[in-house]
Amino acid sequence: MHELSVAQSLFAVISAQAREHKAKPVSAKISCGILNAINDELLREAMSAISSETDCEGVKLEIVHKPLRGVCRRCGKEFEVDLKTGRCPGCGDGDFELQPDAPLILEEIEFEEK
C-alpha cells in the first residue's frame, strides 16, 4: 500500500514540526500531480490510523491534484493537458511534449496552540 508509506512520511514531518512549534497540528495541505498514484481516501485512512493517540490525531488532510502540463511542438503554447482530447488548445495539434508530473509536496501545516 503506497499510501501507508506516504502517510508515514507525512506523519514524521508533521510530528517534527509540531514539536518544534510546540503546537497541535489541525490540518495539512499536500499537492501532487494527477498521475501520482495516490488514493485520497486510502491516504486519509492511513494517516488516521498512524496518528491515532498522538498529537497528530484528527489532522485534516487537504489533497490538491495538480493538472498535467504539456508544451505544443507546433505553436509552443504551454497548457493543461486534457486527457480526453489530447490536443493543444491553441492550435489544435496533437503533437506535444508532456511536462513532468507535479511531485507530492507538503505545502502547509496549520497549528493551534497547546
Give the CATH number for residue 85.
3.30.2320.80
pLDDT tens-digit series, residues 32-80: 998 887 899 999 999 999 999 999 999 999 999 999 999 999 999 999 9
Q: How many other C-beta atoms are found inside a 10 Å radius of the C-beta of residue 14?
A: 23
How crowded is the C-beta side of 55, counted as CA atoms within 13 Å? 18
pTM for the whole structure: 0.84
Q: How many other C-beta atoms are found inside a 10 Å radius of the C-beta of residue 92?
A: 11
Q: Which residues constitute the domain of residue 43?
A: 2-113
Residue 114 has pLDDT above 70, yes or no: no
CA 68/CA 80 separation, integer angstroms: 6
Total structural domains within the chain: 1
How crowded is the C-beta side of 114, counted as CA atoms within 13 Å? 10
pLDDT tens-digit series, residues 93-108: 999 999 999 999 999 9
> What per-residue confidence (pLDDT) applies to 91?
96
